Structure 1
Amino acid sequence: MTAAGKRIRALLPAASDYAPLRRTWRGDLLAGITVGIVALPLALGFGISSGAGAEAGIITAIVAGIVAAVFGGSNVQVSGPTGAMVVVLAPIVASHGIGAVALVSLMAGVIVLIAGALRLGRAVSFIPWPVIEGFTFGIAVIIFLQQVPALTRAEVAGASHTNVVVTAVEALANADGGYLLWALAAVAVVAACMLLLPLWHRAIPASLVGIALVTLAALWVPTPLADIGELPSSLPPPMLPPMNAALLGELALPALTVAALAAIESLLAARVAASLADTGPYDPDRELVGQGLASVAAGLFGGMPATGAIARTAVSVRAGARTRVAAVAHALVLLLVVLVAAQPVGLIPLAALSGVLMVTAVRMVHLTTVRSILRSTRADAIAFVVTAVVTISVDLIVAVVIGIVVAGIFAIRSLSRATGVTREAVQGEPVAGDERIAIVRLDGPLFFAAADRVADTVNALDGVSVVILRMSQLELVDATGAHVLSEIVQRLESRGITVLIKGVREGHVELFRTVGVLRALRHHKHLFAELPDAIEHARSHVARERAAG
């Protein structure tokens, strides 16, 4: 098989994906059932919160859950609608309508699929931890605030603003007091169940118990609470969503944003999932391929874009998942709910689902992690805060980009400070004329951010005849650093100062030759491997100069 064929084969499912199944199938099935129960209210809630509807949420959990499990790069990743995707989709629905969601899912899926085929999966490793946590914190705040309109009165969910903070404030200002009291009571019941029942027994599906209690109470006592409404009793047939050139152009940027988010969140979730238990490594490129196909499939069935869901994946792993069968089983459990229980599920009050999402949002924020970042370094704290604020107030992808830029600026600033420029005394017994010799040791990285400082320090040398540049401790040198070195040599030589270079690392020789550092020396013999040889040459030069003077 050719190299290209091997690369393509590595991105496709293989029998080895299920090698452990003979000994793990019981745990995989149990985990699938468990996470399916947990995923039901989340799929419904995220679908409604995005504006696409409960039907889109559960269709995505089923279709994308199966496709991503089979084609993805993680053995245990559970995929479906997530809070982060809801945050991106809500303004798209507000601007283009519900009909645009399936098309955006299709377009974004193709983009993610191409990214996987181009082997871009490792790119997520360039996102710093404080940026990831700031991103997560911002998403949690948005998910929580998105529930406010639904708790004030269902009719105001389509507020006139796409910014979640403005929408929440507007909803509270126009709240129906009576409805709000009923809704808060439903949230309180669900939250109490989710927080207290696990203390009694971890196996209890606390969110479902809370939803069931609120639903039964709403059936028993007349309330104004709006419910989910009618759900389909089967999956719709796959079909291409309506599209035209103008609509594709309008949705190009939103689709790119969704694709970027799907790729980032899925890769982060897969990376975390691989660390939860001994479930084997994950392939980031194959994960992108799987998630891309999952979003394409979800769009064909009228669903929404999908990503890896770390919370559901963690539940699955803790319940015993070790292969992809667990994620497939979770999707089949949800399919069974659609086929046999669509009518009772449609009676669930929306306020109960809001309670589930609010508790989920609160659990996304780990105060110990936030405190650790804020107390670590000023650069990390600023990157965290900026990312969180921009996520909430502007846009998720913009927040990640700005967070990376902020973190990068501080990292470059810190790295540039590690560049050392030190003048050393001439070694050995003092010789007349040694005061005319300057030995300058360059340490650490020499790149664009530190190059000018190095140049200013060396060029400020005065009263010397020879400058020895010690370069054996230079670690990283970029083109800018090498260019500045050549300018330093040229400027010193133009002042009549002889420059000797000692200890050029083998990895820097070609760069120095290409940029002109070595060519700038007065003589090719002014390049030395050992410092004593350079000092001896410098002393002979000074001696000749003194004799001539």
Structure 2
Amino acid sequence: MAQDPAAPPPADPARSRSSFTPKLVTALQEGYGFGKFRQDAIAGLTVAIVALPLAMALAIASGTTPERGLFTAIIAGFLISALGGSRFQIGGPTGAFVVVVFNVIDRHGYDGLVIATIMAGIMLLAFGLLRFGTYIKYVPQPVVTGFTAGIAVIIFSSQVRDLLGLEIERLPADFLHQWEAYLAHLSSVNFAAVGLAALTLAIILGLKRWRPRWPGFLIGVLAGTLLAFALGLPVETIGSRFGEIPNMLPSPSLPDMSLERIRILLPDAFTIALLAGIESLLSAMVADGMTGRRHRSNGELMAQGIANIGSAMFGGIPATGAIARTATNIRSGAVSPVAGMLHALFLLVFMVALAHLMVYVPLACLAAVLVVVAWNMSEADRFRHLMKAPHGDRLVLLLTFGLTVLVDLTVAIQVGIVLAAILFMVRMAEAVEVQGGVNPLADDDDEDEDSNERENLPPGVEVFLIRGPLFFGASGRLTDVLERVGATPRVFILRLRHVPLMDASGAGTLDAFLKRCQSQGTTVILSGLQPQPAGLMARMGLIRDGAGAPVVAADYRSAVAAARTLIGGD
């Protein structure tokens, strides 16, 4: 039985299984000794020092307690490194989730977030099993930059209260109401908090410039904490707002789940899954670019799904690959996923040993950390660069950014992707060329086409050439051109050599054209069909045996010869 030319090649079972094999297994199979373990341990410790203040700060910004950020970095961080498809990926809480988590907790409580995170984990597992990892990376750049810049603005906005030490009992969730609250409470500014935030920010930025290898976040927070404790500054701390931090992991548990809650939380779960998938694969691609390695997209999605389920069960929040921490891991000399696993274990040690001291950390210092995170997320240079792009891309960028800040992240991503898809289809439709005449779009480099054949076509033969993908966006344009054909020819040569692919709408347009030609007694010759269009047209019955069926020619010269035969036969 002949194979359908449009069908994909059969899958290689061994390659299929390897796409889900954790990179940890691959690294251990390559050989792993004490020297590599030492490199991984140094890298893991370095990343843990960076991640310690970040995990707590991101949890607080997300509207929950600091220990939940630590639980996430420990549980999800370990699972992402142990099971993931990237050799260097560091997982944990990230700024991308701050908006979603804050809104879910505000509307449905922490139990609602746990359910949404577990659902997102199941979705990520499904994405991996269905091999969506290859496609989820293709979210348009204006959409990604628009929502990440919007998230950066929201993160900064959420930290103004702690930066200024404002006395606001409950901070509103949405951007505009937050600033209304800030303006209403501006008279309660705490200048000690402002000073601590400025000091922490100055230390972080100074070390980033002059000592980039030093853990600026930790040093800045530590300096601010020591100063506040030594001087007895009247500022709010982790302990004064949240109480004691536990020095051990909680037991795994699940909240009460019902079909109604699952239905309500489904959009939030999908947003978490989409963000986790995009962010983790972007982080893995960054790691590939820095090291020359290649990650396994679908295996990475599977690990992200398991990690998010585990994080939710142990009292954490959503997790994904963290680009900055992954880059730090690589620069610190990591050679395998063991570094990420050790980073999680070091964080567990820090939590056990230092939980009683973390309560003295001023919230203003953590707010300064998040200001730096927000600035890094904003990708201001990329945003300015995209503002020089075509009008359609700028519209997608600004609309996604505005909707993220003012409306909702889920709406922003949906609208941005739909609008970007529409713009893409319009551009692809405009790229399709349809031209007729005796010598349509002559190709000097076509070895199988003779220009004399075009010039000496017998009377009663019409030629049209189509160049570009024939899909639903371009089918209307093709219809308009074909409708303008003048006198009914005896033979119509339709050149399709430059049509690489065709969808059902394009095939439907051709089918209507073939039936019209058949009713008018015109014979149609299809020239140069490529495999995918040929397979689709055969399945849909456009290429068949019998009266009125089109003639299929291998190339233009054969089509002209067939036309001469048909004219001579008459």
Task: Tell me if both proteins adopt one fold, taking TM over 0.5 as the criterion.
Answer: yes
Equivalence for 1:414:
427
Give a deviation string over 1:371-411, Cα, whole Å, max 9, x none: 32222333332222222222222333332332222221111
Equivalence for 1:271:
285
Give a deviation string over 1:303-322, Cα, whole Å, max 9, x none: 21211111111111111112
User: 8 Å contact 2:24–2:87 — kept in the other structure?
Assistant: no
Decide which moves more: 491-500 or 536-545. Answer: 536-545
- How far residue 56 of structure 1 moved from its aligned partner, in angstroms, is 0.8
Give the length in aligned residue pairs.
Answer: 541
Q: Does 1:258 align with 2:302?
A: no
Task: Name the % identity.
Answer: 34
User: 8 Å contact 1:148–1:171 — kept in the other structure?
Assistant: no
Aligned equivalents of 1:115, 1:7: Cα separation in 2: 16
- How far residue 431 of structure 1 moved from its aligned partner, in angstroms, is 9.4
- How far residue 57 of structure 1 moved from its aligned partner, in angstroms, is 1.0
Give the letter for the 2:533 counterpart. Answer: H
Correspondence 1:442-453 to 2 at 5 A: 442-453=466-477
Q: Does 1:504 align with 2:529?
A: yes
Aligned equivalents of 2:23, 2:532: Cα separation in 1: 41
Correspondence 1:315-464 to 2 at 5 A: 315-425=328-438, 428=452, 436-464=460-488
Equivalence for 2:117:
105
- The change in CA–CA distance for 1:536 and 1:206 in structure 2 (over 3 A counts) is closer
Q: Does 1:292 align with 2:305?
A: yes
Secondary structure of the residue aligned to 1:441 is strand
Q: What stretches of structure 1 of length at least 5 have no aligned partner?
A: none
Give the letter for the 1:450 counterpart. Answer: A
- How far residue 210 of structure 1 moved from its aligned partner, in angstroms, is 1.8
Q: Does 1:474 align with 2:499?
A: yes
Equivalence for 2:446:
none
- The change in CA–CA distance for 1:497 and 1:395 in structure 2 (over 3 A counts) is same
Aligned equivalents of 1:169, 1:406: Cα separation in 2: 30
Aligned equivalents of 1:345, 1:9: Cα separation in 2: 41
Q: Does 1:145 align with 2:185?
A: no
Q: What stretches of structure 2 of length at least 5 have no aligned partner?
A: 1-11, 440-450
TM-score if structure 2 supplies the norm length?
A: 0.86
- The change in CA–CA distance for 1:11 and 1:115 in structure 2 (over 3 A counts) is farther
User: 8 Å contact 1:76–1:323 — kept in the other structure?
Assistant: yes
Aligned equivalents of 1:227, 1:489: Cα separation in 2: 76
Aligned equivalents of 1:412, 1:223: Cα separation in 2: 60
Decide which moves more: 472-481 or 375-384. Answer: 375-384
Q: Does 1:201 align with 2:211?
A: yes
Give a deviation string over 1:161-200, Cα, whole Å, max 9, x none: 432x123312312224343433332221111111112322
Equivalence for 2:4:
none
Decide which moves more: 43-52 or 516-525. Answer: 516-525
Secondary structure of the residue aligned to 1:28 is helix
Give a deviation string over 1:105-146, Cα, whole Å, max 9, x none: 334333333433443322312312222222221221121111
User: 8 Å contact 1:61–1:80 — kept in the other structure?
Assistant: yes
Give a deviation string over 1:435-493, Cα, whole Å, max 9, x none: 64322112222111111211221221113533322222222222211221121122234
Equivalence for 2:100:
88
Correspondence 1:303-314 to 2 at 5 A: 303-314=316-327
Give the letter for the 1:437 counterpart. Answer: V
- How far residue 355 of structure 1 moved from its aligned partner, in angstroms, is 0.6
Give a deviation string over 1:273-316, Cα, whole Å, max 9, x none: 222214x3222222222222222222222221211111111111
- How far residue 494 of structure 1 moved from its aligned partner, in angstroms, is 3.0
Give a deviation string over 1:226-268, Cα, whole Å, max 9, x none: 1001433521331313314254554444333323322222222
What is the aligned counterpart of 2:131 among 119, 123, 130? 119
User: 8 Å contact 2:176–2:406 — kept in the other structure?
Assistant: no
Decide which moves more: 12-21 or 90-99. Answer: 12-21
Decide which moves more: 425-434 or 241-250. Answer: 425-434
User: 8 Å contact 2:166–2:182 — kept in the other structure?
Assistant: no
User: 8 Å contact 2:121–2:305 — kept in the other structure?
Assistant: yes
Decide which moves more: 378-387 or 348-357. Answer: 378-387
TM-score if structure 1 supplies the norm length?
A: 0.89
Give a deviation string over 1:413-438, Cα, whole Å, max 9, x none: 11111211112326649999956432
Secondary structure of the residue aligned to 1:234 is coil
User: 8 Å contact 1:82–1:309 — kept in the other structure?
Assistant: yes
Give the letter for the 2:530 counterpart. Answer: R
